[in-house]
Each structure stands twice: as C-alpha cells, then as structure tokens.
Chain A
Amino acid sequence: MRNEAIFVYSEKQLAYKFNEEHPFNHLRLHLTYDLLNKMHALSDSSVVIPRIATDEEISFIHDSAYIDAVKAAGEGELEEDIARNYGLGTEDTPIFPKMHEAAALLVGGTLTAVDMVMSGKSKHALNLGGGLHHGFRGKASGFCIYNDSSIAIEYMRKKYGARVLYVDTDAHHGDGVQWSFYDEPDVCTFSIHETGRYLFPGTGDVHEKGAGKGYGFSINVPVDAFTEDESFLECYETTFRELADFFKPDVIFTQNGADAHYYDPLSHLSVTTETYKQIPKVAHQIAHEYCDGKWIAVGGGGYDMWRAVPRAWAMIWLEMTGQTHHVSEPIPTAWLNKWKQKSPVPLPAAWHDSSEMYPPIPRKGEIKEKNRRTVEKALYHIRSERQ
C-alpha cells in the first residue's frame, strides 16, 4: 500500500551543529518533531530513519577535492588557508568535528525522502533536515556544506529520469540550486525571496532566467522588504500555478525555509504563520494536479527557532497528512511546558499569529503593487509564449 506521507527523522541529524552561538541550529528539527508528537499527529510508523549519502552521490554536484577538504576539516586536518578557499572555517561555516558525516546524513535524509516517493512507497515525504540550498559545487556558503537539494534533484534525474519543479520559499535566494541547473531545461527552479539589495546572497534578480537551453527555466520573484502575507501568498501561488502548468513536472520538490517570518532576525519580511499554512497547501494541491501526488519537502533557513520554525514546519506535515484541523486547537500544553524554560522568548500558545504582532506597515499598497509587477516580469516569457 502506498503511504500518504513519511517523515524522515533521527536525532543524529542534530549533529549538524557549528557551535552554541551559531544561528543555524538543528534543535529546530527536534522541536518540530516533539510538537507533532505531543499533539499525536505523528505516528512512529510514519517516521523513517535517514540514510547517509555516499561520496558518489555527493559528487553528483560537488567536486571531489571539496568533499576531501570537508572530510579533512572534520578530522582537524585541513590547514586554515586551504580551508578558506573552500568557504570552510569562516564565521558562517565554521569547522566542527565529523562535519562530513553530519552533512552527508542530511543529504542522505533527502535521498531517503526521494526514494520513498519515487519508488511509489509514499505519496509525499518530508525531510526537515535538508534544504541547504546555498551549497556550491566547490564551496560552502551561507551555513550550507553539501547542497542536499541539488544532489537530490540530480539523483532524481539520473535514477528516475524525472522532470523536477523546485520551489524555494526561504527568505534568501536559492542560489546554489539555481546555479546547479542554470542551463538545464529539465529542471525548473523557482525561488521567491526577499530582494537581495541588502540580504544575502544578493542574487535572485527577476532577470536571472537561466542560460542556453535552460533559458526560461530559472524563475526568481524577489519581493520587497516588509512584504506581508497577502502579497507574499499572491506572488507565490500565481507563479507556482503558472509554472506547473507551463513546465508539467513529474515531481514537486519544495524547500521550506521559515525565515521570512516577521520574528526572523536575519530577514526583513513581515509574514505570519498564515503564510506557512498556505505554502504547503498550494504545493499539495499542485502535486496532486500534475504529479500524481509526488511531493518531497525539505526544511531550510529559519532563525527564530522557538516561535516561528516549529509551527511553520509542523504545518507542512499536517498538510501532507490531512490533519490541518489541528491548527484551530491550541498549541499542546505538554510541548509548551517542556520547552518554556529553555526558550529565551515566550512561546506562542496558538498556531495563528495575532494581527497585532507588528505595527502597521506604511506604504503597504506600494509594496504589493511592486511585487505584482515583479511577478509579471518573472512570468513574462511564459505568458507571452501562451498567446
């Protein structure tokens, strides 16, 4: 029988940890897992243990010299100046013991999710430990060592011959994945993110559309700082639906960074949990409309670890498994009691954010109008082809 959805998780995924102060903390995975458990929304039979990716699989995307450097770094055997050339040992991607094994496990988790879906064992699969979309061929960047998403997409192409639609709702541009497939017409990447005027990595302009045969298959919708739910969701859903209709994918792969939330300390967007309820809902519908349900979802950024991320990520699972009715209930007391001592901020008691979470945004109408024009530019070549 085909499962509705599987949840890839193991506490070993928490070994991807740079240091105590680093903003990228995979305790987020455990907080989400625990939240779903406490509300009885995640059965043990749905949880699948991640495998570790082989060197061969990692080398679908990464240079072997880089993989060797990551291994050496994790053993404390990489010289500092050589490490720098690979983006390792920086403030963003500090070296930590066994970093290769930790990063390869996150890649393996995404491949586990892919295999469950592509072999027909499950309609949907979620690996919140993945979504490290900044990793480059030969360089670590933006907290990402290996780019599990690029590797998984290449794996699906090689092993299953699949046409993949990649959808990235992280607040930062999905640059690593975009550049991996920039000249590839069988992979369509769509990233909606805060404009790179101030925010890392600075790329993801609406005019970046792919190169050569891949022209038109990289779609970027950079939205303005302070964009709110209504405008964000309008841009996301319009673009996603038109792209699916144009590209006719075999499978949907979504990267679910949760750092566009108002609470997030690194970005400047103003979306609430309403956006995180709708993002997986639209992906779910499109996966059924175009891909016989085949949908793989991974995590990504998200630096408000206690308030924004667990709720946003739990909602993906609730959507996948048809349990969204839970979001009208309060957050389970058992979860709040377990974590409130450890959290530096008061934990939210409800799934929905209050409309008074932030002061009204001036120029709201202008931002919405500007974002709408950005979508028009992003979809221009697709819309003009239809006429």
Chain B
Amino acid sequence: MLVEDIMIKSPITISKHHTIKEAMELLHENKIRHIPVIDDNNTLIGIVSDRDIRDASPSIFHLNDNQESLLHSVEKIMKYPVITVHPLDFIEEAAVSYYENNISALPVVTEDDQLKGLLTETDVLHVLVQLTGAHEPSSRIEVKVPNVSGQLANIATIFKEENVNVTSLLVYPGAEPEWNNLTFRVQTMDPRDIIKHIQANGYEVQGPRLPGMDI
C-alpha cells in the first residue's frame, strides 16, 4: 500500500507570517496536532506541532502573563528542514521513519517540496487494524509452524479445502528462531473442523488455553 492511498489529501496549512496564536486556534478547532507551513507556491518550508506551540505558550499557572509571546510569527517556532515522505513510498517505509525519528506526522511532498498531503500516525495505525483483519467478522486461528519453506502453503490448502475465506494473515516470529506463528482471521463462526483438520496434519493450534486444562 502506498502513502498516497491513505494520506490526508487536503491538510490544514499555515503561512510563516501567521501568529502562533492563530496556529494554536487552528489546532484546537480542527482537533489536529500538526500543521505544515507553506509559502505562496505551496512549497513546504516547515512544520509546527502542538509541542512547539506548548513550548511557546505561558504556563497554565501564569495564563495571563506573557500573552505577547503568542503574537510572534509561526516562523519563529516552526521546525525545518522537515522529515517528509513521497506519495509513492510504501506505508512500511513511513512507519520506519516515525519509529527512527520519534515523530508522529509526515508531510507528503514531491521532488520540488510541493505539499501533496499529510500522513499521520493514526492513519498508519488504521491500516495496521485492517491488516490484522479485526474490522471484519471473523475467528482467529493461530498455528505454530517450523520455520522452513512450504508451511504456509500447507495450511492455506486446508482453508481452501474447508471452503473458508481468509481475511488476514500475519506471520509472527516465534520465541525460538526455529518456529513461527501463523495467525489467520477466517470468515466463519465455527472453526472447529478447520482446527481439527490442521491438527490432523500435525500442527499445533493455539487457542485460549490455560495450563492443566483439557478442552
């Protein structure tokens, strides 16, 4: 999936000449945490976050003091150069960028720094929810498989034979390197036959089990 598929296409923006107060109002009104700063040609020149504004605001204990500090221009507090992504980057590349730079919003720009959109951490997390299949009615089946080729195909054949639709698949590395956990969400309310079938092929299926219980 590409950044342009899930980015916000018309994000709220601001120019460097606006005041910090105006930026603060934009954040509150739109319930957002980041505003890209652009020039007259829609070129990205900086970014302002709620943290930058908080740093410039008076303490809650002195709300009426130093009000004039909010009248400075956005240019004084904006961060630049900005860490950005390209519309054709993959979502996972953007996710790495959040992780490595410890940030939570990425302006989306093309080569000449033309602002095309904004990608927030929330948008990426939503994709993660979809990847886990948790948005569609389904049951979860976890299978422990040896970390060698052909395992996924073996299990997938069983789903085909049982005529059940798989809505998502995740491969978790096991605690030991020689094992993996394949986690499927399948569109059925009654996974008993599928589980039996997988077990009959010699695999361990993990369910909500407690030590010492035989269910």
Contacts and interface: CB of A to CB of B under 8 A. Distances in A.
A198 B143 CA distance: 12
Nearest to B165: A90
Contact of A201 (B137, B163, B164, B211): B137
A175 B190 CA distance: 16
Contacts of A265: 192
A198 B139 contact: yes
Given A91-B162, A201-B138, A266 B190 contact: yes
B67 interface: no
Interface stretch (A108-116, A285-293, A356-364, A376-384): A356-364
A282 interface: no
Contacts of B190: 23, 91-92, 266
Given A90-B165, A134-B137, A266 B208 contact: no
A361 B214 CA distance: 11
B16 interface: no
A359 B211 CA distance: 12
A268 B187 contact: no
Contacts of B191: 200
Given A92-B189, A268-B215, A197 B208 contact: yes
B164 A363 contact: no
Interface residues of A, number: 28
B210 interface: yes
Contacts of A155: none
A226 B188 CA distance: 22
A202 interface: yes
A172 interface: yes
Interface string B195-209: 000000000000110
A141 B133 CA distance: 15
Nearest to B134: A202
Interface in A202-228: 202-203, 224-226
Contacts of B136: 201-202
B21 interface: no
B211 A362 contact: yes
Nearest to A176: B137
A200 B208 contact: no
A224 B164 CA distance: 26
Contact of B210 (A202, A266, A361): A361
A199 interface: yes
Contacts of B140: 197-199, 202
Interface string A87-117: 0001110000000000000000000000000
Contacts of B86: none
Lowest 9 A-B CB distances belong to which pairs?
A201-B137, A225-B208, A200-B189, A142-B189, A200-B139, A198-B140, A268-B208, A141-B137, A92-B188
